[in-house]
A and B are shown apart, each in its own frame.
Chain A
Amino acid sequence: MLRRAYKYALSLTHDPVQAEDLLQDAWVRVLSSGKARELPYLLRTIRNRFIDRYRKEKGAQLVALTEVPDEVEEDLLLERSYQRESIERALGELGPEEREILYLSWVEGYTAQEIGELQDRPRGTILSLLFRAKKKMRKLLEKKSSSTREWVR
């Protein structure tokens, strides 16, 4: 559970040190609360602590949601495989919410409904955010890929 929670914290912070720090902070709160030490509660605590501490500090903005697609394509197929560093850089250029939602959806396998329950948001909002996150991720990777090719030439 702690290892999974760490990865979730990492999806928010995109920084291993801050992720461990955030996890420890949330874990102490969970232990002190006397409530059951369950993953959903720990994830929610991590999210709340992140909002309190990091997002306020960095002034990160919520992604504006103007359009809600009816359906989100299940996956995106890329022309090539990327090195881990490229994936890491692209993830780093996403906003915390975009990374979080990709992580919950793709790595943890949460449905839009479940993510909505964790974040207290409607399913439609989650779908929209997921759609944008995937699109942005693909663009970032393709952009980096083309710029690398140009440089090689």
Chain B
Amino acid sequence: MKVSLKKQVQDYYCAQKLSSEGLENLLSLEKSTCPPSPPRWRGRLGLLATAAVFCLALIYSFQAGPKAFSTQAVVQEVLAQHLKAEEKLYAAQSFPKLAQHLFELSFTLQPVEVQQLPQLSLQGGTYCSLQGIKAVRIRLRDQNGQGYTAYEVEDLPVFDKVGEGNYPAGMHHRVTIYRKDGVLVAVAGPPETHSEDPF
């Protein structure tokens, strides 16, 4: 009996399925919003954070001059974005893989390495901006599932006044800033927990 090649190829492709994990990932991308600029804020927290960032950026822009960003402006923007829950990300489990997606950058993506922080696993990243400069926002998680947000941006002269260190950012959060191979990296993590002495 003669058999149709077309039918056999159709059967082959009909049997190929997008994994449920892959489909969920794509649908979650659709649900979330993260345009490069300006971001659309969601919820009260987002609005408050926006207002706070705007005010602080305004204040510090007067202090720091027209073309220099301050440490606090960077810290506040990183924290505000860290507090946003959902966004579209290029999912990736390694930095080289993520770099394949984010190939339009003017700098080389750096693995996030902070000695004081626990081992972090990469979740993904996306294009964004930091103080209006094209940057990458990276989401990471520690072993307990706690989320971290890292920003990477080319270390341009406008960031000269941004100091390296570990800074309080409000709401019990801290932001760590460091430089590596011409890239300015800022990392925000979960709020600090202070165990109260019952006595």
Binding site for B on A (CB under 8 A): 2-3, 6-7, 10-11, 16, 20, 23-25, 27-28, 31-32, 37, 53, 75-82, 84, 87-88, 91, 102-103, 106-107, 134, 137-138, 141
Q: Is the interface of B mostly helix, strand, loop or mixed?
A: helix
| Interface residue stretch chosen among B8-16, B39-47, B111-119 | B8-16
Instruction: Tell me whether B18 and A107 are in contact (CB under 8 A).
Output: no
Known A28-B29, A91-B12; contact A3-B2, beta-carbon cutoff 8 A = no
Instruction: Tell me whether A31 and B29 are in contact (CB under 8 A).
Output: yes
Output the least CB separation between B30 and chain A (Å). Answer: 6
Instruction: Tell me whether A77 and B18 are in contact (CB under 8 A).
Output: no
Which chain B residues numbered 7 to 34 have a C-beta less than 8 Å away from chain A? Answer: 8-19, 22-23, 25-27, 29-30
Instruction: Tell me whether B9 and A87 are in contact (CB under 8 A).
Output: yes
What are 22 A-to-B residue pairs whose CB atoms are below 8 Å?
A2-B23, A2-B27, A23-B22, A24-B26, A25-B90, A27-B30, A28-B29, A28-B90, A32-B88, A53-B100, A75-B5, A75-B6, A76-B4, A77-B2, A77-B3, A77-B5, A82-B8, A87-B9, A102-B9, A107-B9, A134-B5, A137-B5
Inter-chain residue pair count (beta carbon < 8 A): 94
Instruction: Tell me whether B13 and A31 are in contact (CB under 8 A).
Output: no
Output the least CB separation between A144 and chain B (Å). Answer: 13
Instruction: Tell me whether B26 and A2 are in contact (CB under 8 A).
Output: yes
Query: In the complex, what residues of A have CB within 8 A of residue B22's CB?
Result: 6, 20, 23-24
Chain B residue, CB-CB nearest to A7 = B13
Instruction: Tell me whether B6 and A24 are in contact (CB under 8 A).
Output: no
Flag whether B168 is at the interface (Cβ < 8 A).
no
Rounded to whole angstroms, the CA-CA distance of A128 and B88 in the bound complex is 40
Find A107's partner among B13, B26, B91 (CB 8 Å cutoff). Answer: B13
Query: In the complex, what residues of A have CB within 8 A of residue B19's CB?
Result: 16, 20
